[in-house]
Amino acid sequence: MSSLPRYETLKLRQPKPHVTLVELNRPTKLNAMNLQLFDELKTCFEQLNIEKECRVIVLAGSGRAFSTGIDIEYLSTAAAESVEIDDIARKALHVRSMIERTQESLRAVDKCEKPVIAAIHGYCIGAGVDLAACCDIRYSARDTTFSIKEVDIGLAADVGTLQILPKLITNHSLFHELVFTSRTFDTNEAQQIGLISHVFDTREALLNGAISLASVIAHKSPIAVQGSKINLNYARDHTVDDNFTFVRTWNSAMLLSEDIVKGLMATSVSKEKKTNLAHYTANKHIIVTTFLSTSKNTSVAHGYSGYDVDSQNLNRTELGELSAHPDEDEVLILPYSTLLITNITTQQLVPLGRRIEIELEQCVDQDLP
């Protein structure tokens, strides 16, 4: 992305290549959602959906909370507006369009074809839970207080919690209890119902964890990842028969992608890793710079990027994955699965944490074994 769009109620940054961090940005109101936030959220996710540079999104809250739900002041104003409408049918139409506008906002997150990882901390209340429901993966900090608050304010949740979560959660009995009582619950119960997949001790650890996960996903083939999200969402909303028909049609086009070739190559490279002896040759001149923040036995560490000198535009591009060597405090440099490097001369073991530069000169005689 040349420059990230600016919003008043959202804060965007790019913590890693192809990863966009979107933070709800009304910290003094604990990220309560007013009309402006709803509208900006929709615009933002529709924009990220078509932004090529963005492959994975982390959605978090700035300040003390993920979100405390709908802004009570906004809800009161909207309610007051409808009171002024005399005719009951016109009143209903007015309220319906207000609900629709809110639904469209949160659904833009659900409909976004890039994976969205919610990083939840502090409070996740009412529409905050609806918003989390619209994300693909939900991580949380241990201190989070959740509440499906809608029943307590006299309504049935209408922007995600009751529409999407029943298709995702695992413990329906407990989920129903939480819906009917509106009582607060903690990360233990959030994990029990299957709302949260991972809990971190602090907000900082949570953000790091979510961003690292996003980076791992961002280094996969975007064709495969986005195709998976589209098929997962489709499967959630259709019958098994429909799902098979849909994926057949989908893959009849997507299997023609060059990413298939690269993926297969990456698989053969992984086999070489086991022997620890492989030599690859490069048919491109590549300067690679790496930095590492991985620990022993981490299977894949990212942060490996460089310049493909032969590429037409000389843009910075990701070239590889760093895989921790299973037995030593070293990493093995492997070709990146979505860049077609048919041959690479260098396989290097590099101590963890060390910044290195490699130059791979054109040398092509050796084919992949």
Ligand X SMILES: CC/C=C\C=C\CC(=O)SCCNC(=O)CCNC(=O)[C@H](O)C(C)(C)COP(=O)(O)OP(=O)(O)OC[C@H]1O[C@@H](n2cnc3c(N)ncnc32)[C@H](O)[C@@H]1OP(=O)(O)O
C-beta of 159 vs 334, nearer to ligand X: 159
Contact 143, 122 (CB under 8 A): yes
Footprint on residues 40-99 left by ligand X (CB under 6 A) = 68-73, 99
Total of chain residues touching ligand X, rule CB under 6 A? 20
Name the 3-class secondary structure at 139.
strand
For 323, the token pair is 């895989």
Report the candidate in 119, 103, 106, 127 with the shortest Cα–Cα distance to residue 29. Answer: 127
Q: What is the DSSP string of 299-313?
A: S-B--EEEEETTSSS
C-beta of 104 vs 113, nearer to ligand X: 104
Contact 233, 250 (CB under 8 A): no
C-beta of 147 vs 343, nearer to ligand X: 147
Say how many Å lie between the first and final Cα of the chain, rounded.
38
What's CA 352's distance to the chain center, in Å? 27
308 forms part of the interface with ligand X (CB under 6 A): no
C-beta of 104 vs 330, nearer to ligand X: 104
Which residue's beta carbon is nearest to the bound ligand X? 126
How many Cα neighbours within 13 Å face the side chain of 48?
32
Q: Whole-number minimum distance, CB 135 to ligand X, in Å? A: 16
Q: Whole-number minimum distance, CB 113 to ligand X, in Å? A: 24
- What is the sign of the dihedral through the CA atoms of 91, 96, 101 and 103? positive
Footprint on residues 96-135 left by ligand X (CB under 6 A) = 99, 102, 123, 125-127
Footprint on residues 20-39 left by ligand X (CB under 6 A) = 29-30, 32
C-beta of 11 vs 198, nearer to ligand X: 11
358 forms part of the interface with ligand X (CB under 6 A): no
Binding site for ligand X (CB under 6 A): 29-30, 32, 68-73, 99, 102, 123, 125-127, 149-150, 153, 158-159
